[in-house]
Structure 1
Protein backbone atom coordinates (compact mmCIF):
# COMPACT_ATOMS: atom_id res chain seq x y z
CA UNK A 1 0.00 0.00 0.00
CA UNK A 2 1.12 3.49 -0.75
CA UNK A 3 1.00 6.11 2.03
CA UNK A 4 -2.26 7.49 0.66
CA UNK A 5 -3.94 4.14 1.25
CA UNK A 6 -4.39 3.29 -2.43
CA UNK A 7 -2.87 0.08 -3.80
CA UNK A 8 0.23 0.53 -5.98
CA UNK A 9 0.36 -0.50 -9.62
CA UNK A 10 3.34 -2.58 -10.71
CA UNK A 11 4.30 -4.32 -13.90
CA UNK A 12 4.57 -8.04 -13.27
CA UNK A 13 7.12 -10.43 -14.74
CA UNK A 14 4.25 -11.85 -16.82
CA UNK A 15 3.57 -8.39 -18.30
CA UNK A 16 7.25 -7.98 -19.15
CA UNK A 17 7.33 -11.40 -20.83
CA UNK A 18 4.21 -10.51 -22.86
CA UNK A 19 5.72 -7.18 -23.90
CA UNK A 20 8.96 -8.87 -24.98
CA UNK A 21 6.95 -11.41 -26.99
CA UNK A 22 5.03 -8.51 -28.54
CA UNK A 23 8.29 -6.80 -29.52
CA UNK A 24 9.42 -10.03 -31.18
CA UNK A 25 6.16 -10.16 -33.19
CA UNK A 26 6.62 -6.52 -34.22
CA UNK A 27 10.21 -7.23 -35.29
CA UNK A 28 9.19 -10.28 -37.35
CA UNK A 29 6.32 -8.48 -39.03
CA UNK A 30 8.42 -5.39 -39.82
CA UNK A 31 11.14 -7.58 -41.28
CA UNK A 32 8.67 -9.21 -43.71
CA UNK A 33 6.39 -6.26 -44.45
CA UNK A 34 8.26 -4.99 -47.51
CA UNK A 35 8.25 -8.27 -49.46
CA UNK A 36 4.65 -9.02 -48.40
CA UNK A 37 3.42 -5.65 -49.68
CA UNK A 38 5.43 -6.09 -52.88
CA UNK A 39 3.83 -9.53 -53.34
CA UNK A 40 0.36 -8.05 -52.76
CA UNK A 41 0.95 -5.46 -55.49
CA UNK A 42 2.73 -7.95 -57.80
CA UNK A 43 5.66 -5.54 -57.68
CA UNK A 44 9.05 -7.02 -58.49
CA UNK A 45 11.33 -8.25 -61.23
CA UNK A 46 9.14 -9.84 -63.90
CA UNK A 47 10.21 -13.10 -65.49
CA UNK A 48 9.44 -16.78 -66.00
CA UNK A 49 9.45 -19.70 -63.58
CA UNK A 50 10.30 -23.15 -64.97
CA UNK A 51 9.18 -26.03 -62.77
CA UNK A 52 11.71 -28.81 -62.15
CA UNK A 53 10.60 -30.93 -59.21
CA UNK A 54 7.83 -31.28 -56.67
CA UNK A 55 8.85 -31.11 -53.00
CA UNK A 56 6.30 -32.50 -50.54
CA UNK A 57 6.23 -32.66 -46.77
CA UNK A 58 3.85 -35.05 -45.04
CA UNK A 59 2.16 -34.03 -41.82
CA UNK A 60 -0.29 -36.22 -39.91
CA UNK A 61 -3.39 -36.24 -42.12
CA UNK A 62 -2.02 -33.60 -44.49
CA UNK A 63 0.48 -33.23 -47.32
CA UNK A 64 2.00 -29.89 -48.33
CA UNK A 65 3.66 -29.68 -51.72
CA UNK A 66 5.51 -26.92 -53.55
CA UNK A 67 7.16 -26.77 -56.95
CA UNK A 68 10.85 -25.90 -57.10
CA UNK A 69 12.57 -24.69 -60.25
CA UNK A 70 14.40 -21.80 -61.86
CA UNK A 71 13.41 -18.17 -62.24
CA UNK A 72 14.79 -16.06 -65.08
CA UNK A 73 13.94 -12.37 -65.39
CA UNK A 74 12.62 -11.10 -68.72
CA UNK A 75 15.94 -9.35 -69.39
CA UNK A 76 17.93 -12.41 -68.13
CA UNK A 77 19.73 -10.18 -65.60
CA UNK A 78 18.29 -12.16 -62.64
CA UNK A 79 18.54 -15.95 -62.53
CA UNK A 80 17.56 -17.84 -59.37
CA UNK A 81 17.98 -21.59 -59.37
CA UNK A 82 16.29 -23.99 -56.98
CA UNK A 83 13.64 -21.45 -56.01
CA UNK A 84 10.10 -22.28 -54.89
CA UNK A 85 6.95 -21.02 -56.56
CA UNK A 86 4.81 -19.53 -53.76
CA UNK A 87 1.39 -21.11 -53.37
CA UNK A 88 2.02 -23.97 -55.79
CA UNK A 89 0.51 -27.39 -55.17
CA UNK A 90 0.93 -30.88 -56.59
CA UNK A 91 -1.35 -30.14 -59.55
CA UNK A 92 0.00 -26.67 -60.37
CA UNK A 93 2.82 -27.77 -62.72
CA UNK A 94 4.46 -30.68 -64.45
CA UNK A 95 8.26 -30.85 -64.82
CA UNK A 96 9.38 -28.38 -67.49
CA UNK A 97 6.16 -26.31 -67.37
CA UNK A 98 6.57 -22.53 -67.21
CA UNK A 99 4.60 -19.67 -65.74
CA UNK A 100 4.93 -15.90 -65.60
CA UNK A 101 6.37 -14.96 -62.21
CA UNK A 102 7.92 -12.07 -60.34
CA UNK A 103 10.71 -11.85 -57.80
CA UNK A 104 10.39 -9.53 -54.81
CA UNK A 105 13.81 -10.50 -53.49
CA UNK A 106 12.29 -12.74 -50.83
CA UNK A 107 14.44 -15.69 -49.89
CA UNK A 108 13.09 -19.05 -50.92
CA UNK A 109 10.40 -18.25 -53.46
CA UNK A 110 9.01 -16.22 -56.30
CA UNK A 111 5.35 -15.37 -56.91
CA UNK A 112 2.89 -16.08 -59.68
CA UNK A 113 0.97 -13.37 -61.52
CA UNK A 114 -1.79 -13.40 -58.88
CA UNK A 115 0.54 -12.15 -56.17
CA UNK A 116 0.01 -13.16 -52.56
CA UNK A 117 -2.10 -12.50 -49.48
CA UNK A 118 0.85 -12.83 -47.09
CA UNK A 119 0.18 -9.27 -45.94
CA UNK A 120 -2.83 -10.53 -43.95
CA UNK A 121 -0.61 -12.66 -41.70
CA UNK A 122 1.97 -9.86 -41.43
CA UNK A 123 -0.74 -7.36 -40.41
CA UNK A 124 -2.19 -9.79 -37.85
CA UNK A 125 1.28 -10.43 -36.43
CA UNK A 126 1.87 -6.68 -36.14
CA UNK A 127 -1.46 -6.07 -34.38
CA UNK A 128 -0.88 -8.89 -31.89
CA UNK A 129 2.63 -7.58 -31.25
CA UNK A 130 1.34 -4.06 -30.60
CA UNK A 131 -1.39 -5.33 -28.28
CA UNK A 132 1.05 -7.45 -26.25
CA UNK A 133 3.60 -4.65 -26.06
CA UNK A 134 1.08 -2.00 -24.99
CA UNK A 135 -0.77 -4.20 -22.47
CA UNK A 136 1.42 -3.31 -19.46
CA UNK A 137 1.22 0.41 -20.24
CA UNK A 138 -2.55 0.35 -20.61
CA UNK A 139 -2.86 -1.68 -17.42
CA UNK A 140 -0.84 0.93 -15.52
CA UNK A 141 -3.02 3.79 -16.80
CA UNK A 142 -6.26 2.27 -15.48
CA UNK A 143 -7.19 3.60 -12.08
CA UNK A 144 -6.63 1.03 -9.35
CA UNK A 145 -9.65 -0.77 -8.05
CA UNK A 146 -10.72 0.44 -4.67
CA UNK A 147 -11.92 -2.26 -2.34
CA UNK A 148 -15.65 -2.32 -1.72
CA UNK A 149 -16.64 -1.07 1.73
CA UNK A 150 -17.64 -3.81 4.14
CA UNK A 151 -21.36 -4.42 4.35
CA UNK A 152 -23.17 -2.55 7.09
CA UNK A 153 -24.69 -5.04 9.54
CA UNK A 154 -28.40 -4.73 10.03
CA UNK A 155 -29.54 -4.16 13.61
CA UNK A 156 -32.05 -6.59 14.92
CA UNK A 157 -34.76 -5.19 17.23
Structure 2
Protein backbone atom coordinates (compact mmCIF):
# COMPACT_ATOMS: atom_id res chain seq x y z
CA UNK A 1 0.00 0.00 0.00
CA UNK A 2 1.55 3.28 -1.08
CA UNK A 3 1.38 6.32 1.09
CA UNK A 4 0.22 9.54 -0.48
CA UNK A 5 2.81 12.32 -0.31
CA UNK A 6 2.54 16.08 -0.63
CA UNK A 7 0.12 18.63 0.66
CA UNK A 8 -3.62 18.28 0.30
CA UNK A 9 -5.02 20.46 -2.48
CA UNK A 10 -7.16 22.39 0.01
CA UNK A 11 -4.04 23.37 2.00
CA UNK A 12 -2.35 24.63 -1.15
CA UNK A 13 -5.41 26.71 -2.10
CA UNK A 14 -5.71 28.07 1.45
CA UNK A 15 -2.03 29.03 1.53
CA UNK A 16 -2.30 30.65 -1.89
CA UNK A 17 -5.35 32.68 -0.80
CA UNK A 18 -3.49 33.83 2.34
CA UNK A 19 -0.41 34.76 0.32
CA UNK A 20 -2.47 36.75 -2.21
CA UNK A 21 -4.26 38.64 0.57
CA UNK A 22 -0.95 39.54 2.19
CA UNK A 23 0.61 40.43 -1.18
CA UNK A 24 -2.05 43.07 -1.81
CA UNK A 25 -2.51 44.24 1.79
CA UNK A 26 1.04 44.65 3.14
CA UNK A 27 1.91 47.60 0.83
CA UNK A 28 -1.16 49.42 2.18
CA UNK A 29 -0.08 49.29 5.84
CA UNK A 30 1.97 52.50 5.70
CA UNK A 31 -0.67 54.59 3.93
CA UNK A 32 -3.41 53.22 6.21
CA UNK A 33 -1.43 54.22 9.31
CA UNK A 34 -0.66 57.67 7.84
CA UNK A 35 -4.34 58.11 6.98
CA UNK A 36 -5.42 57.07 10.48
CA UNK A 37 -3.04 59.59 12.03
CA UNK A 38 -3.68 62.28 9.38
CA UNK A 39 0.09 62.35 8.94
CA UNK A 40 0.85 64.43 5.86
CA UNK A 41 0.66 67.91 4.34
CA UNK A 42 -2.23 69.97 5.66
CA UNK A 43 -4.13 72.10 3.19
CA UNK A 44 -7.56 72.99 1.86
CA UNK A 45 -9.88 70.78 -0.20
CA UNK A 46 -12.36 72.54 -2.52
CA UNK A 47 -15.34 70.44 -3.58
CA UNK A 48 -16.05 70.51 -7.31
CA UNK A 49 -18.16 67.47 -8.19
CA UNK A 50 -20.21 64.87 -6.35
CA UNK A 51 -19.49 61.39 -7.73
CA UNK A 52 -22.03 58.70 -6.79
CA UNK A 53 -22.13 54.96 -7.41
CA UNK A 54 -25.39 53.01 -7.18
CA UNK A 55 -25.36 49.60 -5.51
CA UNK A 56 -28.45 47.42 -5.04
CA UNK A 57 -30.32 49.21 -2.25
CA UNK A 58 -27.44 51.58 -1.53
CA UNK A 59 -25.75 54.67 -2.90
CA UNK A 60 -22.14 55.68 -2.20
CA UNK A 61 -21.09 59.27 -2.89
CA UNK A 62 -17.76 61.11 -2.63
CA UNK A 63 -16.79 64.70 -3.31
CA UNK A 64 -14.03 65.20 -5.88
CA UNK A 65 -12.16 68.47 -6.23
CA UNK A 66 -8.87 70.26 -5.70
CA UNK A 67 -6.37 70.19 -2.86
CA UNK A 68 -4.34 73.34 -2.21
CA UNK A 69 -1.15 72.84 -0.17
CA UNK A 70 0.42 75.70 1.84
CA UNK A 71 3.22 75.84 -0.75
CA UNK A 72 0.66 76.85 -3.40
CA UNK A 73 0.82 73.49 -5.16
CA UNK A 74 -2.61 72.35 -6.37
CA UNK A 75 -3.63 68.74 -6.86
CA UNK A 76 -6.77 68.44 -8.95
CA UNK A 77 -9.20 65.53 -9.30
CA UNK A 78 -8.67 64.16 -5.80
CA UNK A 79 -11.47 62.87 -3.59
CA UNK A 80 -12.03 63.72 0.06
CA UNK A 81 -12.10 60.38 1.87
CA UNK A 82 -15.26 59.93 3.94
CA UNK A 83 -17.17 62.77 2.30
CA UNK A 84 -20.73 62.12 1.27
CA UNK A 85 -23.72 63.67 -0.47
CA UNK A 86 -24.72 65.85 2.47
CA UNK A 87 -21.25 66.66 3.81
CA UNK A 88 -20.43 69.45 1.34
CA UNK A 89 -21.69 71.55 -1.55
CA UNK A 90 -19.92 72.44 -4.81
CA UNK A 91 -17.42 75.23 -4.14
CA UNK A 92 -17.27 74.56 -0.39
CA UNK A 93 -13.89 74.16 1.27
CA UNK A 94 -12.67 71.95 4.09
CA UNK A 95 -9.40 71.32 5.88
CA UNK A 96 -7.68 68.24 4.50
CA UNK A 97 -4.43 66.31 4.70
CA UNK A 98 -2.50 64.90 1.75
CA UNK A 99 -0.76 61.69 2.87
CA UNK A 100 0.61 60.92 -0.60
CA UNK A 101 -2.16 58.77 -2.03
CA UNK A 102 -2.77 59.31 -5.72
CA UNK A 103 -6.51 59.94 -5.65
CA UNK A 104 -7.38 60.68 -2.01
CA UNK A 105 -6.95 63.34 0.64
CA UNK A 106 -8.23 62.92 4.20
CA UNK A 107 -9.94 65.01 6.82
CA UNK A 108 -7.81 66.39 9.66
CA UNK A 109 -9.21 63.74 12.01
CA UNK A 110 -7.80 60.89 9.91
CA UNK A 111 -9.69 57.81 8.76
CA UNK A 112 -10.75 54.37 9.95
CA UNK A 113 -9.60 52.52 6.82
CA UNK A 114 -6.83 50.92 8.92
CA UNK A 115 -9.52 48.66 10.40
CA UNK A 116 -10.22 47.00 7.05
CA UNK A 117 -6.50 46.76 6.28
CA UNK A 118 -5.91 45.14 9.68
CA UNK A 119 -8.70 42.63 9.15
CA UNK A 120 -7.30 41.64 5.75
CA UNK A 121 -3.83 41.21 7.29
CA UNK A 122 -5.25 38.99 10.03
CA UNK A 123 -7.23 36.95 7.54
CA UNK A 124 -4.23 36.47 5.24
CA UNK A 125 -1.92 35.50 8.12
CA UNK A 126 -4.61 33.22 9.54
CA UNK A 127 -5.04 31.40 6.24
CA UNK A 128 -1.29 30.89 5.94
CA UNK A 129 -1.05 29.66 9.54
CA UNK A 130 -3.98 27.28 8.99
CA UNK A 131 -2.37 25.87 5.83
CA UNK A 132 0.99 25.53 7.59
CA UNK A 133 -0.61 23.71 10.50
CA UNK A 134 -2.42 21.37 8.11
CA UNK A 135 0.90 20.61 6.42
CA UNK A 136 2.67 19.84 9.72
CA UNK A 137 -0.11 18.06 11.58
CA UNK A 138 -1.27 15.38 9.22
CA UNK A 139 -4.02 12.98 10.11
CA UNK A 140 -2.73 9.62 11.28
CA UNK A 141 -3.05 6.86 8.79
CA UNK A 142 -5.92 4.55 9.59
CA UNK A 143 -4.77 1.25 11.03
CA UNK A 144 -5.49 -1.69 8.76
State whether TM-score is above 0.5. Answer: yes
Q: Displacement of 1:42 after TM fit?
A: 0.9
Output the TM-score relative to the length of structure 1: 0.83
1:14 has 2:10 as partner: yes
TM-score between both structures, scaled by the size of structure 2 = 0.90
**Count of aligned positions:** 144
Report the equivalent of 2:99: 104
> Contact conserved, 1:9 with 1:144, CA < 8 A, in 2?
no
Q: Cα distance, 1:136 vs. partner?
A: 2.3
What runs of 5+ residues in structure 2 fail to find an aligned partner? none
Runs of 4+ residues deviating >6 angstroms: none
User: Are 1:91 and 2:86 an aligned pair?
Assistant: yes
Contact kept? 2:11, 2:134, Cα under 8 Å: no
For residues 125-157 of structure 1, the C-alpha deviation after alignment (integer angstroms, 9 at most, x for no partner) is 1111111122222113226336489xxxxxxxx
Distance 2:58 2:103 in 1: 22
1:50 aligns with 2:79: no
List alignment gaps of at least 5 residues for structure 1.
150-157
Q: Is the 8 A contact 1:50 1:99 kept in 2?
A: yes
Spell out the pairing of 1:6-155 with structure 2 (5 A cutoff): 10-76=6-72, 78-142=73-137, 144-145=139-140, 147=142
Larger radius of gyration between Structure 1 and Structure 2: 1
Asked whether the 8 Å contact 1:49–1:101 carries over to 2, the reply is yes
1:91-136 per-residue CA deviation (whole Å, 9 max, x = no partner) reads 1111110011001111211001111011111111111111112222
Q: Is the 8 A contact 1:46 1:100 kept in 2?
A: yes
How many angstroms apart in 1 are the aligned matches of 2:138 and 2:15?
21
